[in-house]
Amino acid sequence: MEFVNPEGLRLDGRRPMEMRQLRAEIGAVARADGSAVFEMGNTKVIAAVYGPREVQNKSQQSNDQALVRCEYTMANFSTGDRKRKPKGDRRSTEISLVIRQTMEACILTHLMPRSQIDIYVQVLQADGGTRSACINAATLALADAGIPMRDLVTSCSSGYLNSTPLLDLNYLEDSAGGPDVTVGFLPKLDRVTLLQMDAKLPVDIVENVMQLAIEGCKAIATYIREVLLENTKQLEYRRGL
């Protein structure tokens, strides 16, 4: 099947190095300490952060750093066929672990000992790249909650179909069977914190595809920073400063 036609356009009309449209909203869940909705094209994800708060399970309490917990779920209506098991299945458990490790490396946990930070991410609409959208939404929600972080973690996926590196795969391109590389990146510190790939990729192409995803991450970081600054300005105006 042709994923990149002779004119260089993909199935949804994008160019190979073009990302889908981004949209972010902060403060969607008023009761949570921090929350955000993040959209990458048709993929829509909501994240809510509670913390730092007292540890519920005293046996897991750590004396020198905060405990970070993460739960990834997909809403029943998020995919074409109604999902029967929204959480607890292997894929959700794996993605929960991945998001937790990525965010834990970025949060300054030593500043909040004996406390707990809960990150809940739910996919409302899935169209490929849910993992990346979840990490971006979690970053926004953590920044909204005022939890100290080293940098904004951003994530983007890339692939390699019809001998072309493609940025930000949607569901059709993802299920084509080609490689799907997900990168988690700290833009200001210039560090990769997450790198996952499924399927196989020749060694000489890996570098290119990963670099493309990193460029996508940098673009997302610029957008996230703008959204955060705009949101903070609005709050300052409302407080009369």
Within 10 A of 86 (CB to CB), how many other CB atoms are there?
A: 16
Residues ≥6 apart with Cβ < 8 Å to 173:
3, 10, 11, 128, 159, 161, 166
Q: How many residues bind another protein (CB under 8 A)?
A: 29
Which residue's entry shows tokens 């990149």?
Answer: 4
| 117 versus 143: smaller Cβ distance to another protein | 143
**Alpha-carbon span 72 to 136, nearest angstrom:** 13
Number of helices followed by number of strands (H, E) in the chain: 4, 9
| 34 versus 165: smaller Cβ distance to another protein | 34
Residue 151 as a binder of another protein (CB under 8 A): the answer is yes
| 117 versus 201: smaller Cβ distance to another protein | 117
15, 23, 53, 91: which one binds another protein (CB under 8 A): 53
| 100 versus 150: smaller Cβ distance to another protein | 150
39, 104, 118, 144: which one binds another protein (CB under 8 A): 144
Residue 186 as a binder of another protein (CB under 8 A): the answer is yes
Residue 54 as a binder of another protein (CB under 8 A): the answer is yes
Q: With contact defined as beta carbons under 8 Å apart, do 21 and 41 qualify?
A: yes
**Alpha-carbon span 206 to 212, nearest angstrom:** 10
Q: With contact defined as beta carbons under 8 Å apart, do 4 and 113 qualify?
A: no
Ramachandran angles phi, psi of 32, nearest 5°: -75, 160
| 91 versus 233: smaller Cβ distance to another protein | 233
Minimum CB–partner distance for residue 235 and another protein (Å): 5
Residue 51 as a binder of another protein (CB under 8 A): the answer is no
Residue 25 as a binder of another protein (CB under 8 A): the answer is no
* Tally of residues, the chain: 241
For another protein, the binding residues (CB under 8 A) are 33-34, 53-54, 108, 143-146, 148-152, 186-190, 224-225, 228-229, 232-233, 235-236, 239, 241
